[in-house]
Structure 1
Amino acid sequence: MALPVVVIVGRPNVGKSSLLNALARERISIVDPRAGTTRDRVSALIEHRDRYFELIDTGGVGVVDVDHLESHVEEQIRFALARADVVLFVVDAQDGLTVLDQRVAELLRRLSVPVMVVANKVDDPRHVAQTAEFIRLGHGEPLPASALHVQGREELLDRLVALLGERADGHPADPVMKLAIVGKRNAGKSTLVNALAGEERVIVSEVPGTTRDAVDVRFERDGRVFVAIDTAGVRKKRSMGDLDFYSYTRALRSIQRADVVLHLIDATVPVSEVDLKLARAILDAHKPLLLGINKWDLVGDRATSAQFGEYLARAMPMLPFAPIVLLTASTGRNVHAAIDVAQSLFNQANTRVGTGQLNAVLEKLLEARGPTARHGRKAVRIYYATQVGTAPPTIVCFCNDPSLVTDNYRRYLENRLRAALPYAEVPIRLLFRPRHTAPAGARPAAAHSEDD
């Protein structure tokens, strides 16, 4: 059963995003004093007293957008209201009743669902008396609240679950995988998310930087629930304004909370400094990584898939293990194939290898190329290894002295272990720990000096 939906609406700058963050107890929506910061529908799963619902933040009604995206923002508001089971109509207690508030009230009178007026910014007890005038909006007595100070939260949630009734009883299905979609501006991330969702879930525009928030979009495939995380397009750091910076930090946070990351690259433009920066961020987080080459239909006969693969190997040499999918998000071509590959990466990252199998592989690698010593120092002796974690697969090698392991040898072992074990396409974490004596039956690796 689908979750009930509560939609937050109101004119610009009444604190809608702050209210979503306060109710979710998490910084999800970007909060900024400039009107028009929120454009897409930003959602959060809310649990209150074992009741569940989806809470959706929307852009401001009547906003004047600096990039002339007003019609897109209004369309997203209409989409949200069409799904609403309850509407939170947010007003500003400090500004008082405005003409635009009355316009929103008129819009909401056409709906057949309950509307609750929330008088936000009651940051001081003296502001409570100012909320009475909002009764004139015709949607009942307003509930005083302060998103800034998280005041009125419990009463508001109690009222919401009471209005939703038994519709909020069902526990939502846990997603089988969270897929973060990252890339530079205009790579087609939002178009891809809409293709996965099967609807215009986020705004698509040729205007660079249209997406600002990280937007979680739940979609189903073969009866299973997935979450695609649409993120803002990343630009060069020296070109970032403060909103760009907020969006960038949320994109990085989306990488951290994702199970798999789809790095979307525009096939029609060269790999850039921004693409390399994102790739390094994904690798640093040890996340499974899929390279999605978007707009492949526009490449035509300029390059074959093999030629483009060779180009990527030269341009992004740090990702030799990452699988590549050529896709066209605007037509849906290979979009579901990308999900299949992402699921394979998810499975690989969650694979655990037994100690016997792991050490059989390690012994062959040590025989093929034993560790070498730095000048004037002894060589490291590796006794045995064990896998201690998954997502990422984490392997601990026990040795006589971890400080003796050279960077080159660490990379050699990491690459060869990954290739020989059932997680050939995902990053692994390789750690070295001291053990001064080998356990019974373990055979230390032969030590080789640089002078041999």
Structure 2
Amino acid sequence: MKKKNVIAIIGRPNVGKSSLFNRVIKEKKAIIEDRPGVTRDRIYGSADWLTRDFIVIDTGGITLENATFAKEIKLQAEIAMAEADVIVFVVNHQEGLLPDDEMIAKLLYKTKKPVILAVNKYDRKMNQDETYHYLTLGFGEPFLISSTHGIGIGDLLDEIIHKLPSPKEQDQTPYPSVALIGKPNVGKSSLINTLTGEQRMIVSPIPGTTIDAVDSLVKYNGKNYLFVDTAGIRRKGKIESLEKYSYLRSLGAINKADFVLLMMDMSEPISDQDTNIGGLAFEAQKPIIIIGNKWDLLPTEMKDRKRREAEIRAYFKYLRYAKIIFISALEKQKIGQIYQAIDDVDASLKRKIQTSIFNEVLNRAQLLNPAPDHNGGRLKIYYGSQVEAYLPTFVIFVNNPDYVHFSYKRFLENQIREQFGFEGVPINLIFRERR
């Protein structure tokens, strides 16, 4: 299964990590200010280069000084390094190498990860003695960059792609990886215990019992499934220091997973936090199955599955493609439906549509609902076909992609789903001008 690679940007304060982060993701997401400690939490962003998609993590500056948040910043940087496939170690040419740089280099030696040394803020050509100075860090020839002016960034990205695992290496996972996410105390650990048939996780009514993401390999009907139990995600305003890192590790578990199970407590009203958590998996473009747990606690008059499903879909309009099942993890009710749902979604991922049949659907959709005028013109669809990709992806050739209104794109997606299913998985529609 395809997972996005992770690139971590590491360095001491004020070396230009956030500027490099913004340059790579092509947007100003990280806060840039000329004083140490501005970036405290890790910030995630998506980027691409040479057809490879990856996630970039911007971290707070690691320092030897007893500064405010120094320990927390060091911890979250270490978490970022653990998640990363490639680490970019940034130093500041204008200030030269400092003891903090050497301390960070020692941390990086322990990771056994590919490390690329980027010398930022250089304003003139280095002489041989200066280059040798950076070679003493032990990470090979440095890349000379200016993240502010964009100098050397292309060469740096080329090296990042060169050091990433090949797509074939990533596709060798022998079984699906499934991340369980949800608010605290919705029953994730109880479900893991039921699936594994043992008291593997600590089950407690106290929210926050699970601090880290924990893997459990389960065999069912001769097939293996890797379930990852994550810490319950609370509202950001209520996330305390230790929980912050659990939250970030949950984000990492979502990225690495092939499928996401979004669990909710059906004995409680659906909350905005439930929808916010679902949004994390949606933004990561993951196949999603919504699980309504604690069905056994509902009074008989509330056990109308169709009505409860409609209620969930009203809250999760952005997840209209998600499968929904209702279970009781504690009472072991309907647990087999989870495996069936995962297999069904897996089949949707692998579904291939013949080009001729797909174009019949496109033609019928245009007759049923012609495209409206948009951006000074009207969309005309010529033809389309499915292309090889992890998620179902269709390239549609049109007279002008600017004429595609978002509502018409959604209409076409609904027509495709109505004809071919693809339940549980996102669909990518790419519009290109026919030349």
Q: Which amino acid aligns with 1:261?
A: V
Equivalent-residue separation in structure 1 for 2:423 and 2:188 (angstroms): 26
Counterpart residue identity of residue 298, structure 1: L
User: Retained in 2: the 8 A contact 1:177–1:343?
Assistant: no
Paired with 1:356 and 1:151, the residues of 2 have a C-alpha distance of: 51
Offset of residue 285 of structure 1:
2.3
User: Does structure 1 retain, via aligned residues, the 8 Å contact 2:289–2:424?
Assistant: no
TM-score (norm 1): 0.57
Kindly provide the CA deviation profile for residues 265-315 of structure 1, in whole angstroms up to 9, marking residues without a partner as x. 100111111111122222222222111100000002241222212321322
The equivalent of 1:325 in structure 2 is 325
Distance 2:380 2:244 in 1: 46
Question: What's the counterpart of residue 56 of structure 1?
Answer: none
% identical aligned pairs: 32
The alignment partner of 1:205 has SS state of coil
The answer for the alignment partner of 1:344 in structure 2 is 344
Corresponding residue for residue 130 of structure 1: none
Q: What is the 5 A alignment of 1:71-220?
A: 149-150=109-110, 174-220=173-219
Q: Tell me how far apart the structure 2 counterparts of residues 418 and 152 of structure 1 sit (CA, whole Å).
A: 44
- 1:369 and 1:297 mapped to 2: Cα distance? 44
- Return the alpha-carbon distance in structure 2 between the equivalents of residues 177 and 152 of structure 1: 26
Distance 1:341 1:152, change over 3 A: closer
* CA 408–203 in structure 1, closer or farther in 2 if over 3 Å, else same: same
Q: Which letter does structure 2 place at the counterpart of 1:220?
A: K
Residues of 1 paired with 2:219 and 2:107: CA distance? 33
- Residue 405 of structure 1 and its aligned partner are, at CA, apart by 0.5
Look up the SS of the partner of 2:200 in the other structure.
coil
The alignment's TM-score, normalised by the length of structure 2, stands at 0.59
Contact 2:296 2:331 in 1 (8 A): no
Helix, strand or coil for the counterpart of 1:384?
Answer: strand
SS of corresponding position for 2:110:
coil
Question: Does the alignment pair 1:221 with 2:220?
Answer: yes
Inter-partner Cα distance in structure 2 for 1:290 and 1:409: 26
Structure 2 distance, partners of 1:364, 1:249, is 45
Q: 1:152 to 1:273 in 2, by over 3 A?
A: closer
How many residue pairs match? The answer is 279
Tell me whether 1:366 sits opposite 2:366 in the alignment: yes
Partner of 2:51: none
2:219·2:225 contact (CA, 8 Å) conserved in 1? yes
Match of 2:350, as an amino acid?
A: N
Q: Which residue of 2 aligns with 1:252?
A: 251
Q: Does 1:354 align with 2:354?
A: yes
Q: Distance in 2 between matches of 1:345 and 1:297?
A: 26
Give how far 1:190 is off: 0.9
Which consecutive aligned stretches of 4+ in structure 1 deviate over 6 angstroms post-superposition? none
Structure 1 residues 425 and 343, CA, compared in 2 at 3 Å: closer, same or farther? Answer: same
| CA distance in structure 1 between the partners assigned to 2:427 and 2:317 by the alignment | 17
Paired residues of 1:350 and 1:390 also in contact (CA < 8 A): no
Secondary structure in structure 2 of the residue aligned to 1:262: strand
Q: Decide whether the 8 Å contact of 2:263 with 2:290 is kept in 1.
A: yes
Q: Which runs of 5+ in 2 are unaligned?
A: 1-56, 58-69, 76-81, 83-101, 114-171
Checking the alignment, whether the CA contact within 8 Å between 2:345 and 2:424 is kept in structure 1 is yes
In the alignment, which residue of structure 2 is the partner of 1:380?
379
The one-letter code of the counterpart of 1:237 is K
How far residue 423 of structure 1 moved from its aligned partner, in angstroms, is 1.4
Shift of 1:422: 4.0
- Which residue is 2:334 aligned to? 334
SS at match of 1:290: strand
Change (3 A) 1:248 1:389: farther
**Partner of 2:299 in structure 1?**
300
Q: Does the 8 Å CA contact 1:265/1:293 hold for their aligned counterparts?
A: yes
How far off is 1:348 after superposition? 0.5
SS at match of 1:232: coil
Conservation of the 8 A alpha-carbon contact between 1:392 and 1:429: yes
Partner of 1:262: 261
d(CA) in 2 for partners of 1:218 and 1:343?
16
Between Structure 1 and Structure 2, whose CA radius of gyration is higher? 1
For 1:166, the equivalent position in structure 2 comes to none
Displacement of 1:235 = 0.6
Distance 1:348 1:302 in 2: 34
User: Structure 1 pair 152/305, CA: closer, same or farther in 2 (3 Å)?
Assistant: closer
Runs of at least 5 residues in structure 1 that lack an aligned partner in the other structure: 1-26, 38-43, 45-122, 125-145, 154-172, 437-452
